[in-house]
Amino acid sequence: MRTEIDLSLTMADLSMIKRMIPHRYPFLYIDKVMNLEKDKGGIGIKNVTCNEPFFQGHFPNQPIMPGVLVIEAMAQTAAVVVNHSLDMIDENLGIYLLAVDNARFRKMVVPGDVLELHMTVVRGRGKYWKLDGK
């Protein structure tokens, strides 16, 4: 079933995100997406707490969010941006991460941080999109 998204939507809260991507706890790494602009991008927000399951082993005495999970959060934000751009909700489009180019981690992400994931559309059509993330 396809349901159209209100194009005036500029923020996706957690309930809207769950209608746009299949990820669920403990593998849902965004809390909301702000500044959504069709075919332009959006900013994913993750409030990182000390209760994140991955902190139990990474690392017990110095908890750091694994870089691969930061990339996953970016991919989830990108999926919301693409669904919004395609004006789709409640339909599993099957959006998959195909490549990561030039990933660099400039700062550790630790409990208490608010992770901002700035995703910008470079180009996109149908199921194939390229986004830039910071």
84 flagged as catalytic: no
From the number of C-beta atoms within 10 Å of its C-beta (0-12, 13-18, 19+), residue 93 rates as: middle
With H, G, I as helix, E, B as strand and everything else as coil, classify residue 31.
coil
Pick the closest to residue 68 from 31, 112, 27 (CA basis). Answer: 27
Which residues are known to be catalytic? 58
